């Protein structure tokens, strides 16, 4: 346990520590400093101010486990209404590749009530082991109950890596797990690799507003944890012949957090575009000039049976709702075809769409960064090119 104490024989009651404390946690009592431990956060500001070495901070770190005891790559199998989220299948596909390099197994963690029908699906998609807890207390996602369950599993089975989707649920859950396990967490990753020499996970994510791609490692603590953006990795194909092990654990009623009660889940009733599941996306950017010009993007999208996307610049300008935004601060997509119209291709946008199967760029600037990732590029005026493409597509469909 960490703490702080005043050495009374050395304290002269000068009050310098009082001035140095930003939390007003120190007072003088009978000319001796007294620290309010409820306010103190062990910042050490008072220690540096004391000229008489009368203040001592002691820290006791949690003993480290032998990290060589940790084996396996786990994927949190997020589910809603008994349906596994598609990001789980993306993570299972990546986990299989990582596991091959580490010579270890792939595990999936499924919590819920009455979701046993999904166990074999997880095995078919790549899990060697499925750690399963079925309990009425886990029927609805309550972060505290899910955290206790997974922390208990981790302490028992010791996985070396835990992956989860960077969804609302995934982000709220794994941060709590990391705090309870005293380990690190990298959020919103767009890439995962293994350092072949050190055998540790390299977690890649955008940093400094997307201007650089940072590579982050957790060499000293286990498990290594990361959330991964949806649609940045291909889904694992189902292999119906795959066999795996189902490990069923229990949830003790005493572990349920009684402070929280699930009342209802209200689904969003506002109609929004589902970019993440679209096979074709046509996006417009700053090059459109004004919001009314998005109609030519919508017409091209309609002729292709596509969803309409946009860059952040178009959303910030109020031309189109945020639900259409593709990029680091919007949606990450992986369609079969992505058509970028009037989008220069800043790194923030590229992060969200560069894994698309085929990228077509239309821009009047031949040096636009978008052309570096495009499979096909058209240099020219989008106001001439896009209507011509739409016209040609409509003529072809009439035949």
Largest interatomic CA distance in the chain: 97
Measure the CA–CA gap between 190 and 357, rounded to whole angstroms.
16
Render each residue's pLDDT in the chain as its tens digit; 399 residues. Answer: 568 989 999 999 999 999 999 888 999 999 899 999 888 888 888 998 999 999 998 876 555 567 888 999 999 999 887 789 889 999 999 999 999 999 999 999 999 888 888 899 999 999 999 999 998 888 888 889 999 999 999 999 999 999 999 888 899 999 999 999 989 999 989 899 999 889 999 999 877 666 678 899 998 899 999 999 888 888 899 999 999 999 999 888 777 777 878 777 766 544 456 787 788 999 999 999 999 999 999 999 989 889 999 999 999 999 998 889 998 778 888 889 999 999 999 888 988 888 888 999 999 999 999 999 999 999 999 999 999 999 988 887 766
Do both 336 and 202 map to the same domain?
no
In degrees and rounded to multiples of 5, residue 383 shows phi and psi of -70, -15
Q: For residue 194, how many other CB atoms are within 10 A of its CB?
A: 17
pLDDT score for 270: 41
**Number of domains the chain is built from:** 3
Measure the CA–CA gap between 148 and 220, rounded to whole angstroms.
23
Residue 125 belongs to domain with CATH number: 3.40.50.620
Give, for 341, the enclosing helix (H) or strand (E): strand 337-341
Q: Which domain holds residue 311?
A: 275-398
Decide: helix, strand or coil at residue 293: helix
Measure the CA–CA gap between 239 and 372, rounded to whole angstroms.
36
Do both 194 and 77 map to the same domain?
yes
Do both 302 and 240 map to the same domain?
no
User: Each residue of 312-347: b (16+ CB within 10 Å) or e?
Assistant: bbbbebebbeebbbbbbbbbbbbbebbbbbbbbbbb
**93 touches 236 (CB < 8 A):** yes
**53 touches 73 (CB < 8 A):** no
Residue at 260 is within a domain: no
Measure the CA–CA gap between 179 and 164, rounded to whole angstroms.
15
Residue 364 belongs to domain with CATH number: 3.40.50.1220
Where does a domain end: 36, 58, 80? 58
Residue 76: strand pairing partners: 109
pLDDT score for 358: 94
The pTM is what? Answer: 0.67
Residue at 386 is within a domain: yes
Residue 11 belongs to domain with CATH number: 3.30.70.20
Do both 36 and 88 map to the same domain?
no
Decide: helix, strand or coil at residue 377: strand
Measure the CA–CA gap between 296 and 211, rounded to whole angstroms.
31
DSSP 287: G
CA 66 to chain centre: 27
pLDDT score for 157: 95
Do both 73 and 54 map to the same domain?
no
Let me know the angle formed at the C-alpha of 225 by 348 and 2, rounded to the nearest 5 degrees. 115
Residue at 266 is within a domain: no
pLDDT score for 73: 97
Residue at 290 is within a domain: yes
Do both 40 and 143 map to the same domain?
no
Alpha helices in the chain (DSSP H): 16-20, 45-49, 86-102, 119-124, 143-157, 168-181, 294-304, 312-316, 347-353, 370-373, 382-398
Measure the CA–CA gap between 100 and 102, rounded to whole angstroms.
5
**278 touches 332 (CB < 8 A):** no
**350 touches 369 (CB < 8 A):** yes
pLDDT score for 253: 76
Do both 49 and 73 map to the same domain?
no
pLDDT score for 214: 87
Per the omega criterion (within 30 degrees of 0), is the bond before 223 cis?
Answer: yes
pLDDT score for 269: 45
**208 touches 247 (CB < 8 A):** no
DSSP for 35-63 reads E-TTT-----HHHHH-TT--EEEE--PPP
**335 touches 356 (CB < 8 A):** yes
Do both 107 and 240 map to the same domain?
yes
Measure the CA–CA gap between 22 and 46, rounded to whole angstroms.
9
């Amino acid at each position: 346990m960490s703490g702080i104490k005043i050495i009374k024989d050395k304290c002269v009651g000068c009050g310098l520590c009082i001035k140095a404390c930003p939390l007003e946690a120190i007072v003088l009592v009978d000319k001796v400093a007294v620290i309010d431990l409820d306010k103190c956060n062990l910042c050490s500001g008072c220690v540096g101010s004391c000229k008489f070495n009368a203040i001592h901070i002691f820290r006791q770190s949690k003993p480290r486990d032998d990290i060589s005891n940790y084996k396996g790559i786990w994927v949190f199998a997020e589910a809603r209404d008994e349906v596994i989220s598609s990001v789980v299948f993306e993570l299972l596909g990546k986990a299989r590749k990582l596991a091959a390099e580490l010579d270890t197994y792939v595990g999936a963690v499924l919590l819920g009530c009455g979701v046993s029908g999904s166990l074999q699906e997880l095995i078919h998609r790549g899990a060697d082991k499925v750690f399963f807890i079925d309990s009425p207390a886990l029927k609805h996602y309550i972060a505290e109950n899910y955290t206790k369950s997974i922390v208990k599993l981790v302490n028992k089975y010791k996985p070396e890596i835990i992956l989860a989707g960077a969804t609302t649920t995934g982000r709220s859950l794994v941060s709590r797990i990391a705090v309870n396990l005293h380990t690190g967490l990298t959020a919103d990753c767009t890439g995962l690799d293994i350092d072949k020499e050190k055998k540790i996970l390299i977690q890649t994510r955008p940093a400094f507003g997307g201007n650089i791609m940072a590579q982050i490692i957790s060499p000293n603590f286990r498990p290594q944890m990361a959330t991964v953006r949806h649609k940045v990795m291909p889904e694992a194909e189902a292999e119906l012949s795959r066999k795996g092990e189902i490990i069923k654990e229990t949830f003790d009623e005493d572990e349920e957090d009684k402070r929280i009660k699930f009342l209802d889940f209200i689904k969003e009733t506002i109609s929004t575009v589902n970019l993440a599941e679209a096979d074709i996306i046509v996006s417009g950017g700053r090059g459109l000039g004004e919001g009314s010009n998005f109609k030519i993007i919508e017409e091209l999208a309609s002729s292709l049976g596509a969803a309409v996307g946009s860059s952040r610049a178009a959303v910030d300008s109020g031309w189109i709702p945020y639900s259409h935004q593709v990029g680091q601060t919007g949606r990450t997509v992986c369609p079969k075809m992505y058509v970028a119209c009037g989008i220069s291709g800043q790194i923030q946008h590229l992060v969200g769409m560069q894994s698309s199967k085929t990228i077509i760029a239309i821009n009047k600037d031949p040096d636009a960064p978008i052309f570096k990732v495009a499979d096909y590029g058209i240099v020219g005026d989008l106001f001439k090119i896009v209507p011509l493409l739409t016209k040609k597509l409509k003529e072809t469909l009439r035949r």
